[in-house]
Amino acid sequence: MNAEVSPPVAGLRRPDGPAKLAGTARYVADVPAGDALVATMVCATVPRADRAVVDASAARRAPGVAAVLTADDLPPLRYEGAVGQSVLPMTDHVVRYEGQPVALVLADTGERSRHAADLVRVTYEGVRPVLAFADAEDTVESRPMMGPADHGTGDVARGLAEARTVVGATYTTSDRHHSPIEPSATLARWDGDRLTVHDTVQSVSATRAVLATAFGLEAEQVRVVCPFVGGGFGCKGYIWPHQVLTAAAARTAGRAVRLALTRAQMFTSCGHQPQTRQTVTLGADAEGRLTALRHHSVNATSRHHEYAEATTDACASLYAGPHIELRRRMRHTDRATPTPMRSPHEGPGLFALESAVDELAYAAGLDPLAFRLRNLPARDALTGAPFSTHELRACLERGAERFGWDRRAPEPRATREGDELVGLGMAALSLETHRSPSSARVRRTADGRVRVEAGTEEIGTGQPGVLATVAAEVLDVRPEDVEVVFGDSRLPVTSMTAGSSATMGVGSAVLLAARAVREKLAGGAEEAEAEASWGPQEGSDGLGRKDTMSVHAYGAVFVEVRVDALLGRVRVARCTGAYAAGRIINPLAARSQMTGGLTWGLGQALLERSRFDVEFGRFRSKNLAGYAVPVNADVPELDVFFVEDHDTYASPLGAKGIGELAPLGVSAAVANAVFHATGVRVRSLPIGIPDLLEGMPRD
């Protein structure tokens, strides 16, 4: 069952690569700041209190300290827009979560700033008990962002009554943290009433808007610079309190201020993926066709904010069924606010759905692949809308052939090699296509040079190379000869680099601008410049969706696991991913995205868990020693390929999003393979040794 060796992948090598390898790519913490003060946050050590009383007298006397700022020292601020949570700390004295900043120490060096922060003493009044997730009540979003919290069609009770086979189970996923290699950092400087901020963000445009609102400025008075981001994965998508507080500190101190979060502060200051509890009930008739699908989900969120994982989103695009019932809820607890994390929504949701589908296939006596192929939808099962493209069948069939699924023994625990039980598992996957408007400017000079300008950020995905490729194709030059300028709010406004939408939005704007330049050149101009904007079809919602068309990217993932029969240790031996994600602009960068995403999915399946201490209201291990992520030894050879798919409804490029597609389905495929290997069905992530030792028979 050895996977075939993939040939070398063609495409443009990342133009940002040499600078990153040589260490000359400048990140926010590297930007020269001259006389900037260094800020250190003093964070609350309790999860909830009516009042934090800060004694900074000793800290203010420490060497090199310019100021210690508390809620009494900052100007009034309006914290709204694309913000990560609804309440800005240090605008009152209330503590809402452990790790919340209650003071800022400003000093001339980092060492002195941190030393003085240790001298700050904080006492708490009215400390309240921590509320555990299991004890909280279910609540409904007041303003659902991802669509209705309750959605469905038909009558699920009737569908279950008509079913020959019914399965139902509860699945749980853990709190997880983004853990980018670059912690968040902000450098703020005022020049009169003009603010310049170097910040590690996934949207310079959104950051500019939030800061302008916070300080009562016009957008033109704020400049945000961020060419390179050392990983974000969602935690740098919204604007978090520390960013606004740094700018406020710079205004109060009258000097530039730099704040770099510690690794521990990254666990409390810029979101996390919340734990979920999902119940899935499925019914199938005698022919193995779905008669009912019920998916209920609830996730933890903070007490002062709403964040709901739309875990039920993938159901209608993956499977046909006359009776569907989807519901999502939240439970407010004393912890920091969650946020989108690669991949939000479908990431935790597909673990539950695709595990349940696997269980139903076994209960119905059908091969898991055959069951999925039998239940593919012709249209969106909820709205009845046609699909813009729908290549899921091709992903399933071609992925299975490449993986060697037909050589799989159907019964669990049927294959053993030495002390290892061998199992094969798979999952289907779907990612809703979110689209946002963007602008770009393209210039071609008389000597043939091409320059692309857009405010977008490079967050590690190779975006500059994609934009260079788009412009080069239109203007008939080599991609290597296209200069891409990015990461500055003075450049044309682009959407957030998130939601797997950047290539569609920014790339389409570059395409249209390049075409306009080409037309000017064809008319006799020696050099030309054009700026263009692109956005989804008229009538689309804030995420670029319309009820008249269902737009998704698709895929299928197949894995082989080997489980030590004595120790219960799981090892993924090989993995094949087949994807239909529209036109692939740069195959080399796209393959890198998918292998990185598959690795991320393995982390969710087997390693990643942020343990929350309900007694003290804090995450226990705020470091990478206590929070495990995959390393080389955990990752097998990954076989990735793309099914041809050109979707001009999604974007003029024919492209869809891929960044968040690859992690999807991996955890379910691993869990399904573990069941095939051992006969033990694990319904909680990550899968641990105790899960298997407790359930495996002793041979």
Does residue 652 have a cis peptide bond before it, meaning omega lies within 30 degrees of 0?
Answer: no
User: CA–CA distance from 557 to each of 243, 500, 509, 532 (Å)?
Assistant: 39, 19, 32, 38
With CA atoms as reference, report the closest residue to 312 among 350, 284, 339. Answer: 350
**Annotated catalytic sites, by residue?**
660
**CA Rg value for the chain:** 26
Structure tokens belonging to residue 121: 């003493």
CB distance 150 to 327 below 8 Å:
yes
Residue 298 backbone phi and psi in degrees, to 5: -140, 140
> How many Cβ atoms from other residues are within 10 Å of residue 137's Cβ?
9
Kindly list the distances between the CA atom of residue 4 and the CA atoms of 400, 401, 575, 639, 641, in Å, as whole numbers in the listed order. Answer: 13, 11, 11, 8, 12
Pair 574, 560: CB distance under 8 Å: yes
Separation of alpha carbons 171 and 358, rounded Å: 13
Alpha carbons 412 and 363: distance in angstroms, whole number: 13
Neighbours of 627 (CB within 10 A): 21
Q: Cβ(120)–Cβ(55) under 8 Å?
A: yes
Cβ pair 40, 117 in contact under 8 A: yes
Token pair listed for 253:
């101190």
User: Which of 578, 579, 574, 622 lies closest to 602 in space, CA to CA?
Assistant: 574
Query: Are the C-beta atoms of 501 and 435 separated by less than 8 Å?
Result: yes
Which of 675, 676, 668, 665 has the alpha carbon at shortest distance from 578? 665
Assess contact for 408 and 476: CB atoms under 8 A: no
Q: Left (φ > 0), alpha (ψ -120 to 50) or beta: where does 193 sit?
A: alpha
The candidate with the shortest Cα–Cα distance to 243, out of 218, 217, 270, is 270
- Decide: 54 and 69 in contact? Cβ < 8 Å: no
Pairing type for strands 257-260 and 185-191 reads antiparallel
- Picking from 277, 270, 273, the residue whose alpha carbon sits closest to that of residue 135 is 277
Residue that has been written with the tokens 């070398």 in this structure:
8
Q: What is the C-alpha separation between 174 and 172, in angstroms, rounded?
A: 7
Nearest to 100 by CA among 80, 70, 72: 70
Collapsing DSSP states into helix, strand and coil, what is residue 152? strand
Q: Are 655 and 585 in contact (CB under 8 A)?
A: yes
